Structure 1
Amino acid sequence: MNVSDALKTRRSIRGYKPDPVAPELLEKIFDQARLAPSNCNTQPWHTVVVSGQARKDLQAAIFEEIMSGKTPSPVFTPGDSGLSGVYKERQYQCAFTYYGVMGIERHEKEKRQQLALKNWEFFDAPHVAFISMPASMGPINAIDIGLYLQTLMLLLVENGLASCPQGALAFYPDPVFKIANIPEGNAIVCGISFGYEDVGARINDVIMDRDPLTDLVQFID
């Protein structure tokens, strides 16, 4: 598979088979992902992969916080904060597409909330990774996290795996810190659920469009 094919194949998948990925394949993929570029070779990312019973325990702990009414406490500003104009329109269209495929009307608030909770079920994926960087770092360093994340997602595609990057997995960090040896002073930027796609699952029919090239890129001679 070449890069172009991987880019066309990759999309956010939210329905997974329970089958775990072999440990040797996991190690190979994450070993290759560390080759991602970063500013001044700082490599600010730290990744924790949670699987098996630890993953089940973590899901239960996060749900306990959610159901208790605990307020989300991400350290970094969520990506959907402060959006306006075309960016807000794209966010709305993303939501409408998602709900539409799942047969949920805009007024069905409870169903929308139940769908949102799937984020913290890791969409039933057998593996979830949490990516952190020093809390003292800022937007420029976060570019490096994006480079690492894209590298990781394309490697997953190359190896027949699917994934879904999730900013929501930074919302309840305390349970993650209790089970993971995250470096002192780090904060979670995002998470990514991954595994083998459950082909045919309705939730995987969600496909997001992209704006045309002329809206996004200028060529000046």
Structure 2
Amino acid sequence: MDLDEALKARKSVRAFKADPVPLSLVNEILELARHSPSGTNIQPWKVHVVAGDVRRQLEAEVLAHRDTKPADAVAEFPRTSKRKEPYTTRMRTLGKAMYGLIGIPKGDEAANWRQWGRNYQFFDAPVGLIFTIDKDLDAMSFLDIGIFMQSIMLAAKSRGLDTCSQGAWNNFWTVTRRVLSVPDDEYIICGMSLGYADETSPVNTLVAEREPVASFATFHGFE
């Protein structure tokens, strides 16, 4: 699969097969992703890759902790942005389509809670990635991690694997920090599921709408 195909084919997968992903293949993907650009080449990304017993331990302990309604149910790092139009409509359109495919009716809080918990099972993917960053770095380094994650997602897709980047992992960070021995001077930014998509799952038929170029690009100086 070439780059153009990978960009068009990549999507967030929310149901995975149990088929294992070899460590050698994960390393191959990370070897490519490490060539990602970053501001002044500081390469701020750090990633904990979990599989097997450690992945299962992380899943079990985060889910158990989540049910206690703890104080760390919000991100440790500042998140002060407010959603407004057109972003609110885009978010709601995606949510309505996804929950319709899953079969969760609007207002079913118990079913919504269970589905949110699927994030902490990496949607059954055999490999999970947890991304962290030094706390003393600024917002530009968060941008660098986003670029690094996109590189991982494209490299994975070109090798027949699928992914789902997951902001949910910046919640319940106290458990993740403890299980993975993440240093106190790092923020847990987000996670990512990595594995082979379960093509029989209805949720994986979801393709998020994308805006046309004319809606976000302004061209200057062209004849």
Which residue is 2:215 aligned to? Answer: 215
Give secondary structure in 1 for the equivalent of 2:120. Answer: helix
| TM-score, L = length of structure 2 | 0.93
Which residue is 1:87 aligned to? Answer: 87
Which range moves more in the overlay, 167-176 or 40-49? 167-176
**Shift in Å, 1:198:** 1.0
Which residue is 2:77 aligned to? Answer: 76
Gaps of 5+ in 1: none
Residues 1-221 of structure 1: matches in 2 within 5 Å?
1-71=1-71, 72-78=73-79, 81-221=81-221
Gaps of 5+ in 2: none
**C-alpha contact (below 8 Å) 2:177/2:183 kept by paired residues:** no
Give structure 1 regions of 4+ aligned residues with deviation exceeding 4 angstroms: none
Kindly provide the amino acid, as one letter, of the partner of residue 216 in structure 1: F
Question: For residues 209 and 76 of structure 1, what CA distance do their matches in structure 2 show?
Answer: 29
**Shift in Å, 1:85:** 1.6
Question: For residues 93 and 128 of structure 2, what CA distance do their matches in structure 1 show?
Answer: 27
Which range moves more in the overlay, 92-101 or 106-115? 106-115
Question: For residues 127 and 26 of structure 2, what CA distance do their matches in structure 1 show?
Answer: 10
Question: For residues 206 and 68 of structure 1, what CA distance do their matches in structure 2 show?
Answer: 32
| TM-score, L = length of structure 1 | 0.94
**C-alpha contact (below 8 Å) 1:75/1:135 kept by paired residues:** no
Kindly provide the amino acid, as one letter, of the partner of residue 49 in structure 1: V
**Shift in Å, 1:182:** 3.0
Kindly provide the amino acid, as one letter, of the partner of residue 190 in structure 1: C
Kindly provide the amino acid, as one letter, of the partner of residue 109 in structure 1: E
Question: For residues 107 and 179 of structure 1, what CA distance do their matches in structure 2 show?
Answer: 34
Identity, % of aligned positions: 30
Question: For residues 84 and 7 of structure 2, what CA distance do their matches in structure 1 show?
Answer: 28
**C-alpha contact (below 8 Å) 2:15/2:197 kept by paired residues:** yes
Q: Pairwise CA RMSD of aligned residues?
A: 1.5
Question: For residues 120 and 180 of structure 1, what CA distance do their matches in structure 2 show?
Answer: 14
Question: For residues 208 and 179 of structure 2, what CA distance do their matches in structure 1 show?
Answer: 34
Kindly provide the amino acid, as one letter, of the partner of residue 53 in structure 1: D
**C-alpha contact (below 8 Å) 1:6/1:154 kept by paired residues:** yes
**C-alpha contact (below 8 Å) 1:46/1:182 kept by paired residues:** no
Question: For residues 69 and 180 of structure 2, what CA distance do their matches in structure 1 show?
Answer: 24
**Shift in Å, 1:183:** 4.3
Question: For residues 152 and 79 of structure 2, what CA distance do their matches in structure 1 show?
Answer: 21
Q: Matched residue pairs, number?
A: 220
